Chains A and B, each alone.
Chain A
Amino acid sequence: MSAKDSGGAARGGRREGGSGRSGRSGGRGVVAELDWASKSFGKVKAVSELDFEMRAGEVVALLGPNGAGKTTTVRLLMGLIRPSAGSARLFGMDPARTEARMRVGAMLQVSKVPETLKVREHIELFSSYYPHPLPMAEVVEAAGLGGLEGRLFGKLSGGQRQRVLFALALCGDPDLLFLDEPSAGLDVESRRSLWERIGARKRAGGTVLLTTHNLEEADFLADRIVLLDRGHVLAEGSPDQIKARVAGRTVRCRTSLAAAELERLPGVRAVRRDGDLVELFAAEPERLVAALLAADPALFGLEVRGAGLEEAFLALTCGLAPAGHRQAVDANDQQAIDALDKEVA
């Protein structure tokens, strides 16, 4: 889906008689692909008709709030779960095949790792699974674990533990690295340290798919960002393109104007309303403010400020949701935004 400019295309273009499925099976350099893949858990649709492709040498970030379907996407691509519809392929084969797994390394969200094994023992065991593992010294160096080889996992700090998981992902010298929320729960310093390790892998030509709900992380590490929300692709592009799409200002005020009127004002991309308190997201706030004052001379509490990731998400989500669903979308978004707020702060 690399050429499609937004989720609109992904959602709008329905499968036509399955021709999309066979027509594009593993082009040159494609290492991983999802072909209109959906996955439901009971009634919850975690991922919905996702069409996604990764090429060798690319670093792609799946960005989105909690519950966006990032982890499900990774697990589909890794063959850890089967799609309910559509298909997933790794290196042109079934991702669950051992041959595919030999070319993949993964850092998944693991709540607990056996604590009574030493760092060296963990790496040695995982290395043995692969036909061409990296030498131990190289893994230790690349993951920044020098001097910790003899330490029990349980005696490591949070950042060190995460780097061990990174080492386990790396030790088989994989052609494709999956990093699911690699920096979740880390302090700023450990996060930077891990970013440098991932960055080194990227400079070495490694192919990486990472998930994050931190735009800064996606911006720093990725060549391409895929913005996910509730199982759908909202937008896709280079970090600059994504930032341009979400650039803008938030205009806040208290007004009696109806939502429908507010939406018609020039340059409004999204409206969020709480009683008479209104938040408008717009690319050019100057024209909007002029029109706003003209429409409601009695408005007060006017405020213009820079838009963060939460406004960006709101704008993108509202831009795509059918009008009737907008209310629900807003309510849903608030949870995502709260999560994001914490992350950004």
Chain B
Amino acid sequence: MNTLATKADPSPTKAATTATTATTAATTAATATPPRRRSLARIYWLEAKAEALKAMRLPAFVLPLFAFPVMFYLLFGIAMQYGAFGGVSMAEYMLATYGAFGVMNAALFGFGAGVAGERGQGWLLLKRATPMPPLALFVGKLAMSLLFSAGVIALLFALGLGPGHVRAPAATLAELAAVLVAGALPFAAMGLAIGYWAGPNSAPVLCNLLSLPIAFASGLWIPYPLLPAFLRQIAHGLPAYHYAQLALGVIGAGNHEPAVWSLLYLVGFTAVMLLLARLGYLRDEGRTYG
């Protein structure tokens, strides 16, 4: 009960072992060391590496990310033989749409669930307490999202070019892959907004609730021309639709709307999402954790 007077006994052996460390630390602190610049490139690189390793070692994140687009593409794009569609084979058409689906999920979940989780657990606060450049976190997560997007696309392309018998000029395929991977940007922004507004438990649920209907109504699962009329109306207001149209445009299978409008739409969407994320971040600053 009365603990006022008890004092822990400092262990002399331990003190001796840490003495070297102690002296070095003291010297470094005492001498006025000339200002040395830290390497921003190295911070960004390590941040990206940490994000990638962190996600890669998390089967609950990686498996669905690769399994769903691959499974759907194998079933609907390759196994079922519809013949030609929109001037290209179904396997080629769906390479674009399921590619878009895979990238959208990689970016949305990587950012949405990742940021919300780390924010809710106080981890982001600890990082904010360090001199970490504020952009490093986003650069790291974005690099991770792009990496995973590229992984999904590579896998789908291997299936498309192999069992799917997709045949197209190399330049076209390269352009398609580039457009698909770049599509990670607007959805990363959307994930970031979700991450700053949703709680750690609700964020993954919210990502699912948003991504599945958006993907369906945008024609990522079933080609746009086959959608019911009312969904085709809605599609034009959805980011995934414009994204898919940009990708389909590369292989000449889209709705032949001006690509610049889709591009403008996506740029605007990204800006709005970043603004929302910024507001969420500011809201966070005035609040306590835990």
A and B bound? yes
> Using a CB–CB distance below 8 Å, which chain A residues touch chain B?
41, 46, 71-72, 75, 78, 80-82, 98, 101-102, 104, 106, 108-114, 116-117, 121-122, 124-126, 128-132, 134, 138, 141-142, 152, 165, 168, 172-173, 175, 178, 192, 195-197, 199-201, 203-206, 215-216, 219-220, 243, 246-247, 305-309, 312, 344
Is B170 among interface residues, defined by CB-CB distance under 8 A?
no
Q: Which of B14, B122, B128, B287 interacts with A196 by CB under 8 Å?
A: B14
Count of chain A to chain B residue pairs whose CB atoms are closer than 8 Å in the complex? 172
Of B7, B35, B58, which one neighbours A220 at CB under 8 angstroms? B7
Q: Of B11, B19, B26, B38, which one neighbours A128 at CB under 8 angstroms?
A: B38
Which of A110, A141, A152, A216 is in CB contact (< 8 Å) with B57? A152
Knowing that A108-B125, A173-B28, A344-B3 are A-B contacts, what are 18 other residue pairs whose CB atoms are under 8 Å apart, sorted by A's residue number? A80-B125, A81-B285, A108-B122, A116-B55, A121-B53, A124-B46, A125-B47, A130-B130, A131-B35, A134-B24, A138-B21, A196-B15, A196-B18, A219-B7, A220-B10, A305-B1, A306-B1, A308-B2
Tell me which residues across on chain A come within 8 A of B46, comparing CB atoms: 124-125, 128
CB pairs A–B below 8 angstroms (23 shown): A41-B287, A81-B288, A101-B130, A106-B130, A108-B125, A110-B122, A111-B121, A111-B290, A113-B121, A114-B50, A114-B54, A114-B123, A116-B57, A117-B54, A130-B130, A130-B131, A134-B24, A138-B21, A141-B18, A172-B131, A199-B15, A220-B7, A306-B1
User: Is the Cβ of A204 less than 8 Å from the Cβ of B54?
Assistant: no
Please report the C-alpha to C-alpha distance between residue A225 and residue B136 in the assembled complex, in whole angstroms. Answer: 37
Residues of A within 8 A of B290 (CB): 109, 111
Which residues of B30-59 have CB atoms within 8 Å of chain A's CB atoms? 30, 33, 35-39, 42-43, 46-47, 49-50, 53-58
Q: Find out whether the CB atom of A306 lies under 8 angstroms from the CB atom of B2.
A: yes
Is A215 in contact with B131, judged by CB distance below 8 angstroms? no
In the assembled complex, the Cα of A172 lies from the Cα of B43 at a distance in Å of 14
Residue of chain A at shortest CB distance from B129: A106
CB <8 Å contact, B122 and A111 = yes
Nearest CB of B to A264, in Å: 27
A220–B5 CA distance with the chains assembled, in angstroms: 11
**Binary interface encoding of chain B residues 260-290 relative to chain A, with 1 for a CB under 8 A from any of its CBs, else 0:** 0000000000000000000000000111101
Name, among B14, B29, B30, the residue most crowded by chain A CB atoms within 10 Å (CB to CB): B29
Write out the residue numbers on chain A whose beta carbons fall within 8 Å of the beta carbon of B54: 114, 116-117
- How many B residues touch A, CB cutoff 8 Å? 60
B window 161-196: CB within 8 A of A: none
Residues of chain A contacted by B10 (CB below 8 angstroms) = 196, 199, 220
CB–CB A312/B122 < 8 A? no
- For B26, list chain A residues within 8 Å (CB): 204-206
CA distance A243 to B2 in the complex (A): 11
B99 to chain A, nearest CB (A): 27
Residues of A within 8 A of B49 (CB): 121
